[in-house]
Amino acid sequence: MSETGHKPEPDNATGGRKSAGSQPAFSMRGSLLRKNLMTALLLAPATLWLVVFLVLPFIAIAIFSVGERAPEGGYQAALTFAQYANLPARATAFWNTMVLAPVGALACLLVAYPVAYYLALRAPQRWRLILLAMIVIPFWTSLLMRTYAWMYILGGRGIPALLAYVGIEDLRLINTPGAVLLGIVYGYLPLMILPIYVSLERLDRRLLEASADLGATPLSTFLGVTLRLSLPGVMTGFSLVMILLLGEYLIPTLLGGGKVFFIGNALVDLFLQSRNWPFGSAIAITLVLVSVVVLIVANRVSTRLSGARRVDLI
Amino acid sequence: MTAVPDIEFRAVTKRYGAVTAVSGIDLAIPPSAFVALLGPSGCGKTTCLRMIGGFEQPSEGQVLIRGRDMAGTPPYRRPVNMVFQQYALFPHLDVEDNISYGLRQARPRLSSREISQRAGEALSMVQLGGYGRRKIHELSGGQQQRVALARALVNKPAVLLLDEPLAALDKKLRTDMQIELQNLQREIGITFVLVTHDQEEALSMSDFVCVMNGGRVVQLGQPSEIYDEPADLFVADFVGKTNLVSGKVAGLSGDLVDVALADGTMISARKRVPLSRGEAVSVSLRPESLSLSAPGSGSLKGIVRNRIFLGSTAEYAIEVQGIGSLLAKADHVIGQGNLFKPGEPVAIGFAAGAPLAFPHANNNGTNQREDQNAEILS
């Protein structure tokens, strides 16, 4: 009411402007402070959580890794790189992991991409949510349980028994590399499908039409446009799965018969059985460094190839 | 020898489920012309363009490009290229790679030398020489528009399709691009098919305007024909500004009819379709065909409600008792300060032969026009 009443009078207008010059500056500074405080308060729980459960343990592990094993097991203060020098002792575990992680992630990718493609570009709109839910829902059950289920399915009384009915005898599925790969693909598939789905879903369909209009066959449109523009999703999924696989030991143990050792097995062994914390810590630190390198490389590659504005994953 | 039309529609119908987007269109687009498909949204113009491009298949009928039936021919085997709405440039490629995208698809393969040479030519054609290595997101809207043009034209298509290409540009840039597109079309000499809902754009740029409504072609003709001799009430109303006044046919004489307006005034109008005595009609009066003068002469009397002075012309909203509001447009000559002021009474005359009478149909264009008049009045 007062606003409309004041408008025509020049005196009041200047008065209004004067107060507009000083007051808002005041309240702006105030609101800025309030805003900062609000931001700090909102960030506090997450920051606290990260500091207590990620940063501090990481520092502890870093300190352990340059220490020595106490005679009775555990950690004893020291400053030595002997643990790192000793890493080659677990070279086989490292090597196996370095093979398992990318191969597993690749297998996941090969299965996940067509699924994500179908979901994002081909599936009828009203089915999409249902199909996505069907992919995510199994995640509500523990991976351990689901992997046990696979032990039964692949084991002697599972598929091989069924196949025996039709005359295919003595087929060994459990405790083979194939079983491990199958378990990995099964367990990590949603983590690969979702980021690829998101990047394909965001893809501007007119780009596909433009490509066809310019004479590109469906295959070259797929390679030149669809695949290229979904690479950020592919890289996100790939690095996510690969990093998780670097620490994976459950699936190889259950479905691979535990004959092949991975870094995950080594860590469990060193921390829980032989209680050589410093050596375990050195391995853990190395693993983290490898993960970081994987992330950086994946980020660079996807940024370069998709030509998108830089998106930082870390 | 008659020239084969670049684009021909033969009884083309397109249905999406129960909805008919295009119904039974017959259309021949002559070669080397700039043709605009004009109509309100939902009239089927974009569907027509997409059927030429191959992104939609007709439910019935045939689409021919240079005499060849395109049924079953996918977009990537058609000799046409499209400038998409919002351009649809590839974000992961730079300007030059966007432009050479089509050339790289050619089989047998073109040499990389030829590709880069032609891409360079296309770039300079749209005045973007030196921009080859820019990223798409670094370009302004107008520059992106040019890249989209170059990307399509570099393939030397038989026909260039333009889907509302200027809609995303601001007014100044749009006018510049209109002229540039016209020049380009004349230079290259291929057919341009432009889809637009902007009647001014269609009239100013094209050699032929194809007015569409409700999935049908209502009229195909040169811009001046469309404007001066609209085929029906819809075209009269949609293309350009006009006043629609209702009345009844009082007398017939050859091409002319005498129409009694609501207030009893008789005016003489031309008819485009047969009319019978006593039939309810709408008379279209173009604003510039109304002449204003001091009270005393003229056929109608009114009061100026509003004036919009535009420099070379002035537009008046005039309230006429019993008829409603009429829009009049008068040239303004420097020195002759004969502008009427709001509130002033005026007499309105009609240029001979300008009024056009159409059967009074429940056509959907009328309300829209009334809205525009209301806008001017408010």
A124 near B CB under 8 A: no
User: What mean pLDDT comes out for the span A227-231?
Assistant: 91
Which positions in chain A touch B93 (Cβ < 8 Å)?
A: 307
Quickly tell me which residue has 């528009």 as its tokens: B145
Q: Which CATH architecture has domain A92-306?
A: Orthogonal Bundle (1.10)
Which one, of B236, B259, B244, lies nearest residue B327 by Cα? B244
Residue type, B131: Y
pLDDT at B287 over 60: yes
User: What mean pLDDT comes out for the span B313-323?
Assistant: 90
A217 near B CB under 8 A: yes
Q: Report the pLDDT value the prediction gives residue B338, as an integer from 0 to 100.
A: 66
Q: Is A209–B84 a contact, with Cβ atoms under 8 angstroms apart?
A: yes
Q: Report the pLDDT value the prediction gives residue A9, as an integer from 0 to 100.
A: 40
User: Which residues, listed in sequence order, are joined to residue A173 by a DSSP beta bridge?
Assistant: none
Q: Is B92–A305 a contact, with Cβ atoms under 8 angstroms apart?
A: yes
Q: How far is B80 from chain A (nearest CA, A)?
A: 8
User: What mean pLDDT comes out for the span B165-173?
Assistant: 87
Per-residue pLDDT tens over the stretch A252-267: 888 988 777 889 888 8
Per-residue pLDDT tens over the stretch A154-207: 988 888 888 888 887 777 888 888 899 999 999 999 999 999 999 999 999 999
Burial B88-120 (b: 16+ CB within 10 A, else e): bbbbbbbbbbbbbbbbbbeeeebeeeebbebbb
Q: Is A213–B75 a contact, with Cβ atoms under 8 angstroms apart?
A: yes
How far apart (Å, rounded) are the C-alpha atoms in residues A190 and A133? Answer: 10
How far apart (Å, rounded) are the C-alpha atoms in residues A266 and A253? Answer: 12
Which of left, alpha, beta for B292 (phi over 0: left; psi -120 to 50: alpha)?
A: beta
Q: Is B88–A206 a contact, with Cβ atoms under 8 angstroms apart?
A: yes
How far apart (Å, rounded) are the C-alpha atoms in residues B141 and B97? Answer: 18
pLDDT at B7 over 90: yes
Q: Where are the domains of chain B?
A: 7-228, 242-377
Confidence category of residue A312, pLDDT binned at 50, 70, 90: very low
Per-residue pLDDT tens over the stretch B213-245: 999 999 999 999 999 999 999 999 999 899 999
Which positions in chain B touch A214 (Cβ < 8 Å)?
A: 76, 81, 101-102, 105, 151-152, 155
B55, B106, B152: residue with CB nearest A209: B55
Whole-structure pTM value: 0.80
* Poorest-pLDDT segment among A299-313, B124-138, B281-295: A299-313
User: What mean pLDDT comes out for the span A71-79?
Assistant: 86
Q: Is A215–B155 a contact, with Cβ atoms under 8 angstroms apart?
A: yes
Instruction: Please state the three-class secondary structure of chain A as a single string.
Output: CHHHHHCCCHHHHHHHHHHHHHHHHHHHHHHHHHHHHHHHHHHHHHHHHHHHHHHHHHHHHHHHHCCEECCCCCEECCCCCHHHHCHHHHHHHHHHHHHHHHHHHHHHHHHHHHHHHHHHHHCCHHHHHHHHHHHHHHHHCCHHHHHHHHHHHHCCCCHHHHHHHCCCCCCCCCCCHHHHHHHHHHHHHHHHHHHHHHHHHCCCHHHHHHHHHCCCCHHHHHHHHHHHHHHHHHHHHHHHHHHHHHCCCHHHHHHCCCCCCCHHHHHHHHHHHCCCHHHHHHHHHHHHHHHHHHHHHHHHHHHHHHCCCCCCCC
pLDDT mean across residues, chain B? 89
Q: Report the pLDDT value the prediction gives residue B362, as an integer from 0 to 100.
A: 52
Q: Is A209–B75 a contact, with Cβ atoms under 8 angstroms apart?
A: yes
Q: Are A269 and A262 in contact (CB under 8 A)?
A: no
A vs B: CB pairs below 8 A: 71
A98 near B CB under 8 A: no
Backbone angles phi, psi at A160, to 5 degrees: -55, -35
Q: Report the pLDDT value the prediction gives residue A299, as an integer from 0 to 100.
A: 82
The nearest alpha carbon in chain A to B83 belongs to A210
A291 near B CB under 8 A: no
Confidence category of residue A307, pLDDT binned at 50, 70, 90: low
Q: Is A214–B74 a contact, with Cβ atoms under 8 angstroms apart?
A: no
Per-residue pLDDT tens over the stretch B358-374: 998 654 444 444 444 44
Q: How far is A131 from chain B (nearest CA, A)?
A: 25
Q: Are B324 and B224 in contact (CB under 8 A)?
A: no
Mutate to test the interface with A, among B92, B139, B162, B164 (most CBs of A within 10 A): B92
Classified by CATH at the fold level, domain B7-228 comes out as Rossmann fold (3.40.50)
A302 near B CB under 8 A: no
Q: How far is A296 from chain B (nearest CA, A)?
A: 20
* ipTM entry: 0.84
Domain B242-377 has CATH 2.40.50.100: yes
* Per-residue tokens: B163: 């889907």
Which one, of B182, B119, B129, lies nearest residue B156 by Cα? B119
Q: Is A212–B90 a contact, with Cβ atoms under 8 angstroms apart?
A: no
- How far, rounded to the nearest angstrom, does the alpha carbon of residue B284 sit from its chain's CA centroid? 19
